[in-house]
Structure 1
Amino acid sequence: MMKYGIKLVYLLIVLINFNCTKNDISKPLQNYSKLNDSLYKYAQDVYLWNDKLPHYSVFLSQNTIKGNTEEDILRNEIFAISKYAINNSTDKSYEFFGKLPLEPKYSRIVAHQVSSQSERNFGISLVAYNDSLFVQYVIPGSPADNEALKRGDKILKINTQAVSFNLSFEAYLEQSLKDDRLELTVVRNGVEADILLFKEYYNASPINHLSLLNEQTGYISLLQFSNISAAQLQDKINFLGGISSLIIDLRYNNGGFVNLVEELANLLIPYSFNKQIMRKERYNTVMQSGLAFSLLSQPLVKDDGTPIYINGHAASLFDIDYSIDANTYFFNKKTGIPDLKKIVFIVSDKTASASELLISILKPYIKTKIIGVSSSGESNVRTFGKPVGFFKLMLGRFDLYLSMFQNFNKDDEGGYYDGIPADVTVIDNVRYDFGSIADESVKMALHFIEGVKIDSLKQNSRSSIGLKEMKSVAPGPELLIRSF
């Protein structure tokens, strides 16, 4: 049967289960529905490690799947499925997640939701330094951005209540951030100001800072790979001109759309490497062989939900070619930085998925260093560790995301299940704004790039981000960060 090289547009992002209620698996088993049978059939066809799964009857005899709701039961079935494939380098399952050991790290099922590119919020993230509360970052275009709040602003009061660090205040803060109205008293450079925010829908930009640090070194901070067109991204990168070195700050970037990662990679790759291998997607042998018949029930649709037709019939995900050759992608550079020599990535344990893919893609071609930033005092930062991807499968009223393929770069590297290790780790110093050469991570990046004393460098004020100019908070004692 003919298969077609249709490229899917999908997300590489960390899916988090926001339901914090623990499943009570001691309660009686609800009726095991047809959805559970279908889920296992999908896993046998498309799960990346399907060769490790037993026959369905054996699976049922080995696992007692319980839960309070249908979603709980399905979620627990996915967890049971995820335990079969063992990573020999860790002796744990590939989907083991130390922070949530009773949930798979990647695969998820969620109640079906209509996706939206915009979200109504304040556009601000706050973080604690033991006895002080600071702005961690502000989303460009948000209400917080419109009021000129910025990273490093110290929060003195929330809705007239003085900041403190106890359970009652944390509960108050959590509730305040859910409200539609938020009043902040902030201090910057010794000057206090009262700022009133209202939740709004807005067009967010993922690039929260872009500047030239000197004639040959640029800096860009991306919060996510989304909410920006290819043309807009080209304009931002072309602003940097013919620099030879670039600092890419991905410390809070948990992923996004792969097509934007590819677009950025094309803008950054030197012309001398054009048309060479960018990345490969590797599916299991059932999918590569075109035998994943369960995908016949998954329609292939356009962005607006209308069906795609191939040779007169409504296409399904079964019609796509999942072979390695059909899923090997090459650089296609048309514009951007012509001859980039060095890249320094700033990462944290929140740097995940599409962000990790960008690092992996460029590492074989451009001299690369990775600087980790820690908010908890850890000395050896690693990124989140998500080299796998998936696309959505519809399962009743649920959206199913099973780990389906692994990404590899030109050198067939892609096994960073435990994260990509940083070459050096420094404190995530929230007192300094993005791109400031007073920030320890930027200092270290410049050290790698130029090997000169930081004090001898003068930061170029040229910037394409039209934020209001305000001075940064004066430095205080070195403290660790605790996130809410």
Structure 2
Amino acid sequence: MSAIIRSVGRIRLLCLCMLLWIACKKDNPPSPGGEEIVTPKHGSRKEMSLDSIYLYAKHCYYWNEALPSYTDFDPRGKFAGISPEETALSKSLYRLSQFSMHPGGKPYEWTRMEGRAKYSFLEVRAQGSASAKRLASIINTSASVHLESDTDIGYLRLHSFPRLAAVQGDLDRAFAAMASQNISTLIIDLRFNGGGYIETAGYVADLIAPKELEGKVKYTEHFNTLMQNGRASMLKQQAYLDKDGRTMTYKGRLATMADIDFSVAANTKKFHKKGDLHSIKRLYFISNSMTASASELLISCFKPYLPIRLIGERTYGKPVGSFAIRIDRYNLYLATLQLRNANGWGDYFDGIPPDVEVLPGTTDYQIGSPKDPFLQAVYKDLGIEFVGEGKEAQYKDLKRVKAKTLDLSSIAAGKVEALMIKEQFKLKE
């Protein structure tokens, strides 16, 4: 037994060494225009990391064609003198994020907070999580919300989209409960849902979708032209890991991210019905300014098919996603892919406007309470009147709303980013 344990340990050590070699190795790759990007072969750890951030952006950033040459950007000259190292790298990344200009006149990644990009970010890698500092999630399945009603209305609150493996069982149980009640109208509360994992949002969409959507396009993922054409050579230095974080072999060697098929055809996701909820006729989403990323994707993918209504505030505006790029002890998350629905729509960089606006006010009420002004706006839009005051207040002609609250809370250390992380890829044939 001890011999087996030692053998497994040696295999794991070998894999770790290969990963470190791939993550640290830096060649001079061709640029998107075909010419070689000449960078120094040697330098300090910080200088090499600064070069790597630039090179990965030049190859993988969604708006890579807007980036200047290495000589003009001069990452070592402008940022290597800044301490500590993480600040220097973050400042370099922020500067790179401000070259791509939105038609409205500001960069796509502009925010009101100087030094903070809207989509791209850098983090110190934590063991066991692709984004542990920004998406350390817990699951809390709260009690059902019961309002007296004869209307078949379901209510579901989703506070985040953690990894699917962590929440799939809870999601399945919540939707099974609503399926047993044959609800026809579903209200999904996405307030403060900053997103999470693309695959989890896609799974929720499959739970919601009526069987008529089976096989129809749910959304498409669009990478830059260099990646689609298989010419992002920097990705040869990134090991491809499966969903459990293990290396994979491809054509007899260690698979790298350059072996991924980034074409639109390979990244077109279709509806595959999950669960037994087949009765949805109307779909409502509740949003606020922090509804972002994977939450907006969930809203977007139903727009071509169902009569949906968005109640609340304009959403954050993040139709782009990321995957982790390992540089030394950091994870680099660049805005790498744009998400579009079946109609090709994905231009909500300024957020998705609500059909019925509800201004933020007091929050001195429980989610799902009759006093919740966002929920009141939904019922008003459904033609259900709220009458009375105080404890006597009630919904007119409404006796029982069949609702389920599933609260997937995201608790993060430090700043909370709007996240849309992709982990599942398809290797080239």
**1:248-259 pair list within 5 angstroms:** 248-259=188-199
Counterpart position of 1:430: 363
CA contact (8 A) 1:212 1:218 kept: no
Counterpart position of 2:268: 328
Distance in 2 (CA, whole Å) between partners of 1:117 and 1:49 is 23
Per the TM alignment, residue 212 of structure 1 is displaced from its structure 2 partner at its CA by 6.0
**1:161-172 pair list within 5 angstroms:** none
Deviations 1:291-320 (A, max 9, x none): 111111111123443311122211011110
Identity rate, percent: 32
The change in CA–CA distance for 1:464 and 1:383 in structure 2 (over 3 A counts) is: closer
Counterpart position of 1:44: 58
3-state secondary structure, aligned to 1:58: helix
Counterpart position of 1:80: 95
Distance in 2 (CA, whole Å) between partners of 1:82 and 1:117 is 21
2:248 equivalent to 1:233: no
3-state secondary structure, aligned to 1:370: strand
The change in CA–CA distance for 1:230 and 1:309 in structure 2 (over 3 A counts) is: same
CA contact (8 A) 2:184 2:281 kept: yes
The change in CA–CA distance for 1:246 and 1:61 in structure 2 (over 3 A counts) is: closer
Say which of 323, 342, 361 aligns to 1:391. 323
Say which of 351, 365, 389 aligns to 2:305. 365
Counterpart position of 2:125: 112
CA contact (8 A) 2:154 2:402 kept: no
What is the identity, as a one-letter code, of the residue corresponding to 2:233? Answer: F
The change in CA–CA distance for 1:212 and 1:237 in structure 2 (over 3 A counts) is: farther
Distance in 1 (CA, whole Å) between partners of 2:267 and 2:251 is 22
Counterpart position of 1:419: 351
The change in CA–CA distance for 1:427 and 1:304 in structure 2 (over 3 A counts) is: closer
Counterpart position of 1:409: 341
User: Greater relative contact order (Cα 8 A, min sep 6): structure 1 or 2?
Assistant: 2
3-state secondary structure, aligned to 1:436: coil
2:375 equivalent to 1:442: yes
3-state secondary structure, aligned to 1:266: helix
Per the TM alignment, residue 368 of structure 1 is displaced from its structure 2 partner at its CA by 1.4
Distance in 2 (CA, whole Å) between partners of 1:101 and 1:437 is 40
With normalisation by structure 2, the TM-score equals: 0.74
3-state secondary structure, aligned to 1:74: helix
Structure 2 unaligned regions, length at least 5: 1-43, 387-394, 408-429
Structure 1 unaligned regions, length at least 5: 1-29, 120-200, 373-380, 468-484
Distance in 1 (CA, whole Å) between partners of 2:359 and 2:144 is 22
Query: What count of residue pairs does the alignment treat as equivalent?
Result: 345
Distance in 2 (CA, whole Å) between partners of 1:316 and 1:37 is 20
Counterpart position of 1:58: 72
Counterpart position of 2:115: 102
What is the identity, as a one-letter code, of the residue corresponding to 2:171? Answer: L
3-state secondary structure, aligned to 1:92: coil
3-state secondary structure, aligned to 2:111: coil
The change in CA–CA distance for 1:416 and 1:206 in structure 2 (over 3 A counts) is: farther
Distance in 1 (CA, whole Å) between partners of 2:360 and 2:399 is 21
Per the TM alignment, residue 58 of structure 1 is displaced from its structure 2 partner at its CA by 1.9
With normalisation by structure 1, the TM-score equals: 0.66
The change in CA–CA distance for 1:457 and 1:114 in structure 2 (over 3 A counts) is: farther
Counterpart position of 1:69: 84
Say which of 191, 202, 205 aligns to 2:139. 205
Deviations 1:19-47 (A, max 9, x none): xxxxxxxxxxx996111111111111100
The change in CA–CA distance for 1:249 and 1:210 in structure 2 (over 3 A counts) is: farther
Say which of 254, 257, 265 aligns to 2:205. 265
3-state secondary structure, aligned to 1:265: helix
Bigger fraction of residues in helix: 2
